[in-house]
């Protein structure tokens, strides 16, 4: 079958930085093609070239075999291209109907609203989505908003759909619905370019996979002919065995102990021991209560009942503030400040860098440089705004800040590698092991079972607000954990081994 979209020898530079080097891409009707690579691999730049945001220095884009210069996003739209970016472009206070047609220059000034309404309705029906066209987008869930973005594409007769990390904020149910929609669109002959860091999705929904590294095209092939390990090695340019560092020997000592934790409506009777020098992972799907447990331990949600101890001593609200650090899954809203890297790194430590209320910036910068070096952040980025860094470097800031105290404590993490590329993930996993070696107690929640099995020393699966098992070392098995978090043998009951005392 002939390609609907082809890119040949695309090259573009920004000053001395070559963002794309002779990149090629072929996308056929009825194909879902994954586009994978680390941050900085060139994926975003390639998308912007295809959407007419950037003009290449060299190379050509062909649509239906005809070379095209794509002048701007409106021209890309006319050619049948549509993009759903990570940050949705919907206007929350407008209706679903108005959002579907917002910005479409093909709509005449004096249009028949009834005709536009009918076409929007058909687009939603195509996606098998029951959403009221008159409801405000602000009143929709994130998953529903994502589907409205796709309905906008369908209503505008897009043939090439580009989805950039479409499942980053969706629940498991919403993800499955999205996949059903994508399979239907594929069957109708749409060509879909699917950008994701979640490798499980590549094997579940995609037909082919293209890998980019350092601005160059590395490979394209059928998903059925590549293993997960081979895909990771192609993305990293090194062995898969380098992904997860070796577990530390020994049993660990003391650490965090929680008994009978409960929040009505979220979780109940949660108990576990998390020793120092080890990584304990609460594994569960969205809605399992695992994420709420992490937040509650960190003091971000009031407990209905339960007790917590650190090294045998009761944890109070005062002692929690000085010994427990929390790393949120939403670093933009709950982790970073819209300030410099220096200010983000030393946040919470200003008393150590001030005298009589006057900040010593020399002292603050010195400490920030030490923390940056400890997590591998380039010292030349210290003056930059934290939001200008890659997702991996942003996450490193949060780890450096969490580990910046005067003595090792407890670090709580919800989805510690969400939105982080493969290369940065391996660096974060090494940071976690380094923290274990320094005597920290690490407790994390993750929905990524490959990550759970690869990094955790202790796994505590949760289902519908309850702990259902506990596994250590060689007991950790991905199929067993998957069963526990989806259809546990004692759903809703705490298994006696789970307490871990």
Q: Please give the residue that has the higher pLDDT: either 266 or 422.
A: 266
pLDDT tens string 227-259: 988 888 888 787 766 788 888 887 777 899 999
Q: Is the pLDDT of residue 495 over 60?
A: no
Token pair of 439 as six digits: 């005597």
Q: Which residues pair with 32 in a beta bridge?
A: 192
Asked if residue 34 lies in contact with residue 224, where contact means CB atoms within 8 angstroms, the answer is no
pLDDT of residue 72: 92
Domains 5-241 and 253-336+408-498 agree in fold: yes
Q: Give, rounded to a whole angstrom, the gap between the first and last alpha carbons of the chain.
A: 62
Q: CA 478 → CA 280, 422, 464, distances in Å?
A: 15, 20, 19
pLDDT of residue 496: 37
Q: Phi/psi at 418 (nearest 5 deg)?
A: -60, 130
pLDDT of residue 111: 58
pLDDT tens string 106-148: 655 455 678 888 888 888 887 777 889 999 988 888 778 888 8
Q: CA 498 → CA 42, 270, 380, distances in Å?
A: 45, 9, 47
Q: Give the torsion sign (CA, 61, 64, 65, 66).
A: negative
Q: At what angle do helices 391-402 and 422-437 cross, to 10 degrees?
A: 10
Mean pLDDT of 463-483: 90
pLDDT tens string 143-188: 788 888 888 888 888 899 999 888 876 777 778 888 988 999 999 9
Q: Give burial (CB, 10 Å; 0-12/13-18/19+) of 440.
A: buried
Region at 356 (left for phi over 0; alpha for psi -120 to 50; beta for the rest): left
Walk across the sheet containing 253-263 and list its strands.
267-276, 253-263, 305-310, 313-314
Q: How far is CA 26 from the centre of its chain?
A: 26
Token pair of 393 as six digits: 């470097």
3-state secondary structure of 481: helix
CATH of domain 5-241: 3.40.50.300
For strands 32-36 and 191-195, give the pairing. Answer: parallel
Cα atoms in the 13 Å half-sphere on the side-chain side of 321: 4
Residue in 312, 247, 317 with CA at minimum distance from that of residue 273: 312
CATH tag for 253-336+408-498 (out of 3.40.50.620, 3.30.950.10, 3.40.50.300, 1.10.3720.10): 3.40.50.300
DSSP letter string, 376-410: T--GGGTTSBGGGS-HHHHHHHHHHHHT-SSS--E
Percent of the chain with pLDDT over 70: 93
Q: Give the torsion sign (CA, 428, 429, 434, 440).
A: positive
Segment holding 236, helix H or strand E: helix 228-236
Q: Is the pLDDT of residue 500 over 50?
A: no
Mean pLDDT of 311-334: 85
pLDDT of residue 58: 95
Asked if residue 480 lies in contact with residue 471, where contact means CB atoms within 8 angstroms, the answer is yes
For strands 58-63 and 5-14, give the pairing. Answer: antiparallel
Token pair of 149 as six digits: 């973005």
Rg (CA), the chain: 24
User: In terms of pTM, does the model score above 0.75?
Assistant: no
Lowest mean pLDDT among 206-220, 431-445, 479-493: 479-493
pLDDT of residue 196: 87
Segment holding 67, helix H or strand E: strand 66-68
What's the whole-number average pLDDT of the chain? 87
Burial readout 142-174 (b: 16 or more C-beta within 10 A, e: otherwise): ebbbbbbbbbbbbbbebbbbbbbbbbebbbeeb
Residue with tokens 């010292």: 379
pLDDT tens string 347-405: 988 878 888 788 888 899 999 999 999 998 988 889 999 998 888 889 999 999 998 87
Domain chopping of the chain, boundaries? 5-241, 253-336+408-498
Q: CA 337 → CA 354, 384, 390, 397, 413, distances in Å?
A: 20, 12, 15, 11, 18
Lowest mean pLDDT among 26-30, 222-226, 317-321: 317-321
Q: Please give the residue that has the higher pLDDT: either 31 or 498.
A: 31
């Amino acid at each position: 079958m002939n390609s609907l979209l082809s890119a040949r020898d695309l090259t573009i530079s920004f000053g001395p930085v070559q963002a794309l080097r002779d990149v090629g891409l072929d996308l056929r009707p009825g194909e879902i093609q994954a586009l994978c690579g680390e941050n900085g691999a060139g994926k975003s730049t390639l998308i912007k070239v295809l959407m007419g945001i950037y003009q290449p220095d060299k190379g050509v884009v062909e649509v239906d075999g005809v070379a095209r210069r794509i002048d701007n996003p409106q021209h890309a739209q006319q050619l049948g291209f549509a993009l759903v970016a990570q940050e949705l472009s919907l206007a929350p206070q407008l209706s679903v109907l108005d959002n579907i047609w917002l910005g479409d220059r093909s709509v005449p000034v004096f249009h028949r609203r009834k005709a536009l309404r009918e076409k929007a309705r058909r687009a939603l029906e195509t996606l098998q989505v029951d959403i009221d066209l008159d409801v405000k987008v602000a009143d929709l869930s994130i998953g529903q908003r994502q589907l409205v973005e796709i309905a906008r594409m369908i209503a505008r007769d897009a043939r090439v759909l580009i989805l950039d990390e479409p499942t980053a904020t969706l629940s498991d149910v919403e993800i499955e619905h999205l996949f059903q929609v994508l399979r239907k669109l594929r069957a109708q002959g749409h060509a879909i370019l699917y950008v994701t860091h979640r490798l499980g999705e590549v094997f579940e929904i995609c037909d082919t996979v293209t890998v980019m590294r350092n601005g160059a095209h590395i490979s394209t092939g059928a998903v059925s002919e590549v293993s997960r390990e081979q895909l990771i090695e192609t993305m990293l340019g090194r062995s898969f065995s380098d992904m997860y560092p070796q577990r530390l020997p020994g049993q660990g000592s003391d650490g965090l102990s929680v008994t009978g934790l409960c929040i009505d409506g979220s979780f109940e009777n949660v108990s576990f021991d998390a020793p120092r020098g080890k990584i304990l992972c609460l594994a569960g799907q969205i809605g399992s209560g695992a994420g709420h447990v992490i937040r509650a331990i960190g003091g971000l949600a009031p407990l209905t009942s339960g007790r917590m101890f650190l090294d045998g001593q009761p944890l109070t609200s005062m002692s929690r503030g000085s010994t427990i650090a929390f790393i949120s899954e939403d670093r933009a809203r709950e982790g970073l400040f819209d300030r410099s890297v220096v200010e983000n790194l030393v946040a919470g430590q200003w008393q150590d860098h001030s005298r009589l209320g006057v900040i010593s910036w020399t002292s603050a910068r010195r400490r920030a440089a030490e923390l940056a070096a400890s997590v591998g952040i380039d010292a030349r980025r210290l003056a930059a705004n934290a939001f200008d860094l890659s997702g991996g470097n942003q996450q490193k800031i949060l780890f450096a800040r969490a580990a910046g105290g005067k003595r090792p404590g407890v670090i709580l993490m919800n989805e510690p590698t969400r939105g982080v590329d493969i290369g940065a993930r391996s660096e974060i996993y090494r940071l976690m092991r380094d923290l274990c070696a320094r005597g920290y107690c690490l407790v994390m929640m993750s929905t990524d079972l490959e990550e759970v099995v690869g990094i955790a020393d202790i796994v505590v699966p949760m289902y519908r607000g309850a702990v259902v098992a506990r596994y250590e070392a060689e007991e950790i098995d991905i199929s067993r954990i998957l069963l526990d978090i989806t259809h546990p043998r004692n759903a809703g009951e705490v298994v006696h081994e789970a307490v871990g005392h």
